[in-house]
């Protein structure tokens, strides 16, 4: 029996669109499950994915990938490779697993909602693969850190983080819940697969896999590479969805969906990737700064795509470009200073040689953030580490749930939080765009209580910092500590050069 | 006497903090409570007096929090008198 060319049968396997007779299309695809802004139902039948795959190919590729990655895992488990890794890299690893493993599982919920309520059969077909992908990503990114539990109990937070009220988990959860876990199918296609995955993670995984191999983390490198190839397949769901919206005159809706999510993705991305690129990755393995990565890999690609599609860059593009100069530095200093509130051991990353790198990549760093580290370094050298630990809470943004850090350049000072009043309650925000996202749909976010709101509402009793840590699910064996026990505060550049050879 | 939680920052610091004060505290005492979390912690100590800004105006030291009309979760900013 001659084998048909894939192109000869491909449409047969995925184009299951039909005109309903016994029910109306709105009953099959209810608005609360897929917010269709009045695009004619059959317009969605033209949905077409650039990168095609059949189920046979899918199963074959995925089993090959899993076979490869799990054998690397088994081989590495018997070696001492992990123990030789840099402590800063281990911090990036621990943070990644806690922040990403379970959301991948949750993303399979978003994908399965598209697999059922996607308005074109080819969209539903591609989302079915996306659901299988995300299930795989959740499983593999819980299994790998499970294999590292004997190294440090913090790896248990790969599974635990999303079940706690730790502030970083709240920040990630509140975004991912909005992006896919509790989002309608159309908005998920635009906000998860287009804005977040095409915009950020598809490229991030490429960069991370390269960094992992560079620092000698073969296991994580193999894992992330195998995930990245899945990501590029299901990330493509966003573009055809967007094209149909635009073709049918729905640019305003599409623009709002992208803009209300891009900014939140930028803040979470800066928290997770900014710190690891600018402070945790060992100096000798840093290929570029976070800002350079954002400009070269994320911004340029996204702007090109935006223009191709006929979309406008978000109104806050310049605010974001400014934040790329300092926001990750504020977050790093905040995470390091409030380190007991995170499930990983932050690397100070400010030895003399590292500060020189920071000054070169971010001219003026020493005059802004360097000044804080001068005071902190002096306290450490004087044996007063208690002065480098928090005595109160930072204010947390009521939108992105990340502490409100501010530019430290005296000339452009804006310390005061941005404020909105809604139904008699006052909401505080870290930035104009976070405030704007709230003001666009306040009823969507009004019920959220930040960790500080809960503290002030008496949810944490007695209201002490120790109890805040317990409320966050953090136990003493998990509290973050300085990754190198403050070695960087005593490290002269000469020692650093010797260490580097 | 009632505790008044404030959102507070030292002008030269990088983060906004939650700082509880008493409504009977003078503004000078408020400045000290905010400085305790910032000066010599992240902000370099300087031999200059501190001042407190609320709603865009500098508040006289001798007033109490209540007299100055500072409400819970209002933003106050401490800075050195240049």
B41/A379 touch (CB, cutoff 8 Å), yes or no = yes
Whether residue A417 lies within 8 A of chain B, CB to CB, comes out as yes
- Model confidence over A376-399: pLDDT tens digits? 999 999 999 999 999 999 999 999
Which pLDDT score, from 0 to 100, does residue A200 have? 86
For chain B, the domains span 3-80
Which pLDDT score, from 0 to 100, does residue A409 have? 54
φ, ψ (nearest 5 deg) of residue B54 = -140, 130
Which pLDDT score, from 0 to 100, does residue B45 have? 96
CB pairs under 8 A between A and B: 82
**Is the per-residue pLDDT at B32 higher than 70?**
yes
ipTM reported for the complex, 2 dp? 0.97
Chain A residue at shortest CA distance from B42: A372
**Is the per-residue pLDDT at A489 higher than 50?**
yes
A408/B12 touch (CB, cutoff 8 Å), yes or no = yes
Nearest beta carbon to residue A426 from set B18, B73, B77: B73
Nearest beta carbon to residue A403 from set B11, B15, B77: B15
**Is the per-residue pLDDT at A501 higher than 50?**
no
Other residues' Cβ atoms within 10 Å of the Cβ of residue A432: 14
B42/A413 touch (CB, cutoff 8 Å), yes or no = no
**Is the per-residue pLDDT at A364 higher than 80?**
yes
- Tell me the shortest Cα–Cα distance from B26 to chain A, in angstroms: 20
Which pLDDT score, from 0 to 100, does residue A500 have? 44
B18/A452 touch (CB, cutoff 8 Å), yes or no = yes
Nearest beta carbon to residue A394 from set B15, B36, B44: B15
| Partners of A394 in the β-ladder | B17
d(CA A272, CA A396): 17
Assign A2 a pLDDT band (cuts: 50, 70, 90): low
Burial annotation A309-341 (CB, 10 A radius, 16+ → b, else e): bebebbebbeebeebbbbbbbbbbbbbbbbbbb
d(CA A356, CA A361): 9
- Tell me the shortest Cα–Cα distance from B52 to chain A, in angstroms: 13
Nearest beta carbon to residue A417 from set B40, B42, B75: B75
Which pLDDT score, from 0 to 100, does residue A496 have? 47
Q: Residue B73: list chain A partners with CB under 8 A.
A: 426, 428, 456
User: What's the CATH code, domain B3-80?
Assistant: 3.10.20.270
Q: Are A407 and A331 in contact (CB under 8 A)?
A: no
| Strand boundaries in A394-487, DSSP class E | 418-422, 425-429
**Is the per-residue pLDDT at A36 higher than 80?**
yes
A375/B42 touch (CB, cutoff 8 Å), yes or no = yes
Chain B residue at shortest CA distance from A330: B14
Query: Encoding tokens for residue A211?
Result: 């960094």
Whether residue A187 lies within 8 A of chain B, CB to CB, comes out as no
- Tell me the shortest Cα–Cα distance from A456 to chain B, in angstroms: 8
The CATH topology of domain A41-500 is Ribonucleotide Reductase, subunit A (1.10.620)
**Is the per-residue pLDDT at A8 higher than 90?**
no
**Is the per-residue pLDDT at A444 higher than 50?**
yes
A375/B40 touch (CB, cutoff 8 Å), yes or no = yes
- Residue A191's alpha-carbon distances to A87, A107, A208, A240, A441, in angstroms, are 34, 12, 22, 13, 16
Which pLDDT score, from 0 to 100, does residue A211 have? 87
Q: What is the mean pLDDT of chain A?
A: 92
**Is the per-residue pLDDT at A495 higher than 60?**
no
Which pLDDT score, from 0 to 100, does residue A74 have? 87
d(CA A95, CA A89): 10
**Is the per-residue pLDDT at A10 higher than 50?**
yes
Assign A493 a pLDDT band (cuts: 50, 70, 90): low
Which of A211-225, A366-380, A482-496, B33-47 shows the lowest per-residue confidence on average (mean pLDDT)? Answer: A482-496
Torsion region of A397: left, alpha or beta (phi above 0 gives left; psi -120 to 50 gives alpha): beta
> Which candidate in A323, A395, A424, A431 is best for mutational testing of the B interface (most B CBs within 10 A)?
A395
- Model confidence over A327-336: pLDDT tens digits? 999 999 999 9
φ, ψ (nearest 5 deg) of residue A402 = -110, 145
Q: Average pLDDT of A301-323?
A: 92
H/E stretch holding A112 reads helix A87-117
Chain A residue at shortest CA distance from B55: A416
In 3D space, the residue among A152, A144, A65 whose CA is nearest the CA of residue A344 turns out to be: A152
B15/A375 touch (CB, cutoff 8 Å), yes or no = no
Q: What is the mean pLDDT of chain B?
A: 96
- Tell me the shortest Cα–Cα distance from B18 to chain A, in angstroms: 6
Is pLDDT larger for residue A492 or for residue B9? B9
Tell me which residues of chain B have a C-beta less than 8 Å from any C-beta of chain A.
5, 7, 9, 11-19, 36-37, 40-44, 73, 75, 77
Q: Residue B18: list chain A partners with CB under 8 A.
A: 392-395, 452, 455-456
Which of A119-128, A135-144, A299-308 shows the lowest per-residue confidence on average (mean pLDDT)? Answer: A299-308
- Model confidence over A166-204: pLDDT tens digits? 999 999 999 999 999 999 999 999 999 999 998 888 777
Alpha helix (H) ranges present in A216-316? 218-234, 238-247, 251-269, 275, 290-293, 300-309
Which pLDDT score, from 0 to 100, does residue A408 have? 54
d(CA A41, CA A50): 21
Assign A289 a pLDDT band (cuts: 50, 70, 90): very high
How many percent of chain A have pLDDT more than 70?
A: 96
**Is the per-residue pLDDT at A325 higher than 90?**
yes
- Model confidence over A402-427: pLDDT tens digits? 999 987 555 555 678 999 999 999 99
């Amino acid at each position: 029996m001659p084998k048909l060319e894939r192109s000869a049968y491909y449409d047969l396997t995925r184009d299951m669109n039909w005109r309903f007779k016994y029910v109306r299309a709105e009953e099959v695809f209810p608005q609360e499950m897929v917010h269709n802004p009045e695009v004619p139902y059959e317009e969605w039948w033209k949905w077409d994915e650039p990168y095609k795959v059949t189920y046979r190919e899918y199963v074959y590729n995925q089993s090959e990938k899993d076979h490869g990655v799990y054998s690397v895992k088994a081989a590495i488990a018997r070696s001492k490779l992990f123990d030789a890794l840099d402590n800063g890299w281990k911090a990036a690893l621990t943070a990644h697993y806690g922040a990403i493993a379970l959301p991948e599982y949750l993303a399979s919920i978003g994908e399965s909602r598209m697999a059922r309520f996607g308005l074109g059969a080819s969209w539903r077909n591609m989302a079915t693969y996306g659901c299988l992908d995300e299930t795989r990503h959740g499983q593999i990114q819980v299994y790998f850190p499970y294999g590292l539990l004997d190294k440090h109990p913090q790896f248990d937070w790969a599974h635990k983080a999303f079940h706690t009220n730790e502030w970083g988990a709240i920040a990630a959860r509140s975004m991912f819940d909005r992006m896919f876990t509790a989002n309608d199918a159309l908005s998920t296609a635009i906000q998860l697969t287009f804005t977040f995955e095409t915009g950020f993670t598809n490229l991030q995984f490429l960069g991370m896999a390269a960094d992992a191999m560079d620092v000698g983390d073969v296991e994580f490198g193999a894992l992330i590479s195998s995930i990245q190839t899945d990501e590029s397949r299901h990330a493509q769901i966003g573009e055809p969805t967007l094209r149909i919206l635009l073709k049918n005159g729905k640019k305003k809706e599409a623009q709002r969906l992208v803009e209300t999510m891009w900014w939140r993705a930028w803040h979470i991305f800066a928290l997770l990737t900014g710190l690891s690129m600018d402070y945790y990755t060992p100096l000798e393995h840093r290929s570029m700064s976070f800002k350079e990565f954002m400009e070269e890999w994320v911004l340029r690609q996204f702007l090109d795509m935006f223009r191709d599609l006929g979309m406008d860059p978000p109104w806050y593009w310049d605010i974001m470009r400014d934040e790329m100069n300092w926001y990750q530095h504020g977050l790093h200093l905040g995470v390091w200073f409030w380190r007991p509130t995170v499930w990983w051991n932050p690397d100070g990353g400010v030895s003399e040689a590292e500060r020189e790198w920071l000054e070169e990549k971010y001219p003026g760093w020493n005059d802004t953030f360097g000044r804080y580290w001068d005071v902190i370094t002096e306290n450490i050298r004087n044996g007063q580490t208690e002065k480098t630990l928090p005595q109160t809470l930072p204010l947390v943004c009521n939108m992105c749930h990340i502490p409100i850090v501010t530019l430290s350049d005296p000339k452009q000072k804006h310390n005061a939080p941005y404020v909105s009043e809604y139904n008699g309650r006052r909401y505080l925000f870290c930035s104009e765009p976070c405030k704007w996202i709230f003001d666009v749909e306040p009823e969507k976010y009004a019920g959220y209580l930040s960790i500080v709101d809960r503290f002030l509402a008496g949810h944490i009793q007695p209201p002490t910092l120790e109890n805040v840590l317990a409320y966050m699910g953090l136990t003493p064996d998990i509290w973050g500590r300085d990754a190198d026990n403050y070695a960087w505060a005593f490290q002269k550049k000469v020692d650093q050069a010797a260490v580097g050879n | 006497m009632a505790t008044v939680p404030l959102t507070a920052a030292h002008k030269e610091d990088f983060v906004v903090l939650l700082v509880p004060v008493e409504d009977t505290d003078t503004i000078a005492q408020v400045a000290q409570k905010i400085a305790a979390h910032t000066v010599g912690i992240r902000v370099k100590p300087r031999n200059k007096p501190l001042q407190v800004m609320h709603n865009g105006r500098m508040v006289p030291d001798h007033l109490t929090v209540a007299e100055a009309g500072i409400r819970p979760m209002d933003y106050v900013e401490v800075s050195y008198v240049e």
